[in-house]
C-alpha cells in the first residue's frame, strides 16, 4: 500500500509495476510492485520517513551492476537513486550524490586535475553502491578517499559521518542499514594530463582483462583469503561451464556473461552451484557470492 501522502501527489516520485531488468547490468529480474525515485537527498529522507511510519519494507537500487534480481521480482518498495546525481568540486574535495555514475565522477576528478579516484576507472555502478561495498581493484578502493558521508537512517533522519579507520574493509563498509545520499572525497591536486593519462590506462587495462558492462555483474564471487576466485575457477576448468543463457566468461572466469540477454536469475544460480562444486572438488575452497541478491 502507498503511504497516504504519496497517493495525493500526481507529480510524486512513485511508480508501480516497474520492470527492473533494464536497470541491472545483467539485464535480469522481474518487476517492482512499487518503485520510488527520490529527486533530492531531502526527498529521499522524506520518503524513508513515510516508509518508516507505514512499516513498509524497502530496498535500494543503485547502479544495478552488482545485483541479481529474482525472476519473480520484488514485493518490497524499490528506492532508485538514479535521480540523485549532482557532482561538484570545492577546492580538493569532490562531492557526488549517491546516484552519480562512478565513471562520470572519475572523469570529473581527472579533468579537474584531482588525483586519487583514477584507481576506480572502469568500475561500473554508481558512487553510493561503490562506497557501500568499498569497490576497488588492484590500484586501490574507494574507502580511503572518502572524507565525509551524508547518510539517511531508515527512519528518515539525515546524518553526516566522517569515516574512521575501521569504517571500510575488503568490499564492505559500516553503512549497514543506512542509505548513502552523498559522498565527499578528499583528492590530491596533480597535473591534469598526468591524472587523465593514468585514468585512461587503468580503464584500458580493465577493458582488456574484463568483459564489458552489459550482460554481466562484475565479479560473481569474493576472492577467498589468499586466492583469486577467477584463477581458481579457471584452473578447475570452469570456463567451459554454462547453464541456460548464462556462461562463464572466457575473458575472466569470475564474470558470468548473459550474452544474448535472455538468461534468467535461476540460470545464474544453477551456474553458481556448478562452479562452486567444481572449485570445491579441485581446490577444496568454498566460494562466496560477491553479488547482492534480491528475491532469491
Binding interface with ligand EPU (CB under 6 A): 137-138, 209, 218-219, 222-223, 228-231, 234, 252-254, 290
Kindly list the distances between the CA atom of residue 182 and the CA atoms of 11, 91, 145, 161, 272, in Å, as whole numbers in the listed order.
24, 17, 14, 11, 34
- Taking the least distance from each CB to ligand EPU, the nearer of 49 and 224 is 224
Least distance (Å) between residue 132 CB and ligand EPU? 13
Q: Which residue has the cell 516508509?
A: 51
Least distance (Å) between residue 120 CB and ligand EPU? 10
Least distance (Å) between residue 253 CB and ligand EPU? 3
Nearest residue to ligand EPU, by Cβ distance, number only: 137
Residue 202 and residue 122 in contact, taking contact as beta carbons nearer than 8 Å: yes
Cell of 259: 550474452
The set of residues, in sequence order, having a beta carbon less than 8 Å from that of 201 and lying 6+ positions away, is: none
Q: What are phi and psi of 27, to 5 degrees?
A: 60, 40
Least distance (Å) between residue 64 CB and ligand EPU? 13
Dist CA 171 CA 274 (whole Å): 24
Cell of 8: 495525493
- Taking the least distance from each CB to ligand EPU, the nearer of 21 and 120 is 120
Least distance (Å) between residue 195 CB and ligand EPU? 18
Least distance (Å) between residue 57 CB and ligand EPU? 27
- Taking the least distance from each CB to ligand EPU, the nearer of 152 and 202 is 202
- Taking the least distance from each CB to ligand EPU, the nearer of 115 and 223 is 223
- Taking the least distance from each CB to ligand EPU, the nearer of 113 and 140 is 140
Burial class (CB in 10 A: 0-12, 13-18, 19+), 286: exposed
- Taking the least distance from each CB to ligand EPU, the nearer of 142 and 229 is 229
How many CB atoms sit inside 10 A of residue 266's CB? Answer: 16
Dist CA 139 CA 132 (whole Å): 18
Among the listed residues 28, 65, 51, 52, the one whose alpha carbon sits nearest the alpha carbon of residue 295: 28
Amino acid at each position: 500500500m502507498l503511504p497516504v501522502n504519496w497517493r495525493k501527489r500526481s507529480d510524486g516520485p512513485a511508480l508501480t509495476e516497474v520492470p527492473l531488468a533494464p536497470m541491472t547490468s545483467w539485464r535480469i529480474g522481474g518487476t517492482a510492485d512499487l518503485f520510488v525515485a527520490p529527486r533530492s537527498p531531502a526527498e529521499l529522507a522524506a520518503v524513508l520517513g513515510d516508509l518508516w511510519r507505514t512499516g513498509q519494507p524497502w530496498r535500494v537500487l543503485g547502479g544495478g551492476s552488482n545485483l541479481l534480481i529474482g525472476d519473480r521480482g520484488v514485493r518490497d518498495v524499490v528506492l532508485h537513486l538514479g535521480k540523485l546525481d549532482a557532482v561538484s568540486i570545492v577546492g580538493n574535495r569532490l562531492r557526488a550524490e549517491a546516484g552519480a555514475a562512478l565513471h562520470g565522477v572519475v572523469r570529473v576528478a581527472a579533468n579537474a586535475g584531482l588525483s586519487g579516484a583514477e584507481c576506480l576507472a572502469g568500475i561500473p555502478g554508481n558512487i553510493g553502491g561503490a562506497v557501500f561495498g568499498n569497490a576497488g581493484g588492484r590500484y586501490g578502493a574507494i574507502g580511503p578517499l572518502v572524507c565525509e558521508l551524508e547518510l539517511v537512517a531508515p527512519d528518515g533522519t539525515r546524518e553526516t559521518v566522517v569515516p574512521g579507520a575501521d569504517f571500510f574493509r575488503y568490499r564492505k563498509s559500516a553503512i549497514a542499514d543506512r542509505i548513502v545520499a552523498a559522498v565527499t572525497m578528499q583528492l590530491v591536486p596533480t597535473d591534469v594530463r598526468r591524472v587523465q593519462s593514468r585514468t585512461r590506462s587503468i580503464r584500458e587495462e580493465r577493458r582488456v582483462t574484463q568483459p564489458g558492462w552489459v550482460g554481466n555483474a562484475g565479479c560473481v564471487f569474493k576472492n577467498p583469503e589468499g586466492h583469486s576466485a577467477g584463477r581458481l575457477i579457471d584452473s578447475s576448468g570452469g570456463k567451459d561451464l554454462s547453464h541456460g543463457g548464462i556462461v562463464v566468461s572466457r575473458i575472466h572466469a569470475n564474470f558470468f556473461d548473459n550474452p544474448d540477454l535472455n538468461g534468467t536469475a535461476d540460470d545464474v544460480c544453477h551456474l553458481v552451484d556448478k562452479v562452486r562444486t567444481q572449485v570445491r572438488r579441485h581446490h577444496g575452497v568454498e566460494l562466496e557470492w560477491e553479488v547482492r541478491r534480491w528475491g532469491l
